[in-house]
Homo-oligomer: A and B are copies of this chain.
Amino acid sequence: MAERGSQVVLGLDPDPRRLWPVGPASLRSGAPLGPVAAAVLGHCRALIDATAPACVAVKLQLARFEVLGADGWLAMAELVADARRSGLLVIADGKRGDIDVTARAYADALFGGIDTPHGWLDGLGADLVTVNPLMGTDAVEPFITAAREAGAGVLALVRTSNPGAADIEDLGLDGGGTVWERLATMVDELGRSGIGASGLSDVGAVVGATAPGHLPRARELMAHAAFLLPGVGAQGGRVQDLAAAFAPGRAGGLVSASRSIAEAHRSGAEDPATAARAEAERLRESAWELSDRAGASA
């Protein structure tokens, strides 16, 4: 992040009904893809090409690739390679969570793959994956184990960016605190053994940018967690409200934006790539400045 001067995560959340028109260069593909997957891949490639210098990572919204069927996995694998070539980390945003053996299978799929008696299976090669901790620690731990084997990390949902987050995550507990605060404590405990030289753990948290009032408390409960902060832009979150995320340093927050970058051209006269580049750079600059001030005052 220091090298790129950026905390911006380019969300790849391609709605097949709202893709950029792209030229043949972006439609190149190593695997033969159907027309929808080819268009999705081209759109995502053009987005990466336009915005990579302002970003530190891409976040693949797995649902948008799952809907492409088998082609979706092929498209994701190509985008992971593209992101690497552009010097970007890869976040697989699937919010998976299940019993132990199942969680491990998801982790093998998204991180480093697995050897079997019938041959080797490649993993997606993600650097970070999002997980859903509703089912408890034993649904999260297999992801952490696999992440450590792969030199990767985990981001657990703590307080999400959607309005419905209030339904369960904000419920008050009989011993005090809320469900999301308990999730935060779980993240902190699971991450204690994975704190690196940076002071950050390999177990981070998803904390929505749409309810920034929660951020100081989240940071208090999770001093060593990197926060993935989705919801900037289309969902209403604003970079300037995210200072608490950066208390442990500039790498404390990953500012994730999808639609506000991909659809920036819809509010002006610029072409999609130019508008996206400008929006990503605007986010980068405001987050980087904010983290400078936040770090200095922490």
Q: Find out whether the CB atom of B67 lies under 8 angstroms from the CB atom of A136.
A: no
Tell me whether A149 is interfacial, beta carbon within 8 Å: no
Given contacts A13-B102, A66-B106, A114-B16, contact A169 B73 (CB under 8 A): no
Contact code string A130-161 (vs B, CB < 8 Å = 1, else 0): 00111111110000000000000000010011
> Which residues of chain B are near A72, meaning CB under 8 Å?
70, 73
Copies of this chain present in the complex amount to 2
**Cβ < 8 Å to B, chain A residues 175-201:** 175-176, 179, 182-183, 186
A135's partner among B74, B160, B174 (CB-CB below 8 A) is B160
Tell me whether A35 is interfacial, beta carbon within 8 Å: yes
> Which partner residue on chain B sits nearest A164 by CB separation?
B136
What's the dominant secondary structure at chain A's contact region? mixed
> Which partner residue on chain B sits nearest A103 by CB separation?
B63
Within the complex, the shortest CB–CB distance from A190 to chain B, in Å, comes to 11
Within the complex, the shortest CB–CB distance from A113 to chain B, in Å, comes to 8
Tell me whether A166 is interfacial, beta carbon within 8 Å: yes
Q: Find out whether the CB atom of B66 lies under 8 angstroms from the CB atom of A109.
A: yes
Given contacts A162-B136, A167-B137, A173-B172, contact A36 B119 (CB under 8 A): yes
Within the complex, the shortest CB–CB distance from A69 to chain B, in Å, comes to 5
Contact code string A42-68 (vs B, CB < 8 Å = 1, else 0): 000000000000000000010110111
Q: Find out whether the CB atom of A171 lies under 8 angstroms from the CB atom of B164.
A: no
Tell me the complex Cα distance, A200–B173, Å: 32
Q: Find out whether the CB atom of B67 lies under 8 angstroms from the CB atom of A19.
A: no
> Which residues of chain B are near A138, meaning CB under 8 Å?
162-164
Contact code string A28-48 (vs B, CB < 8 Å = 1, else 0): 000100111011000000000
Which of A138, A164, A169, A173: most chain B CB closer than 10 A? A164
Tell me whether A220 is interfacial, beta carbon within 8 Å: no
Tell me whether A100 is interfacial, beta carbon within 8 Å: yes
Within the complex, the shortest CB–CB distance from A31 to chain B, in Å, comes to 8
Q: Given A61-B105, A132-B132, 10 other A-B contacts at CB below 8 A?
A: A17-B116, A63-B109, A64-B105, A70-B74, A97-B132, A100-B162, A135-B169, A136-B162, A136-B168, A136-B169
Where the two chains meet, the residues of A that have a C-beta atom closer than 8 Å to any C-beta of B are: 13, 15-17, 19, 31, 34-36, 38-39, 61, 63-64, 66-74, 77, 95-103, 105-106, 108-110, 114, 116-119, 121-123, 132-139, 157, 160-169, 171-176, 179, 182-183, 186, 235
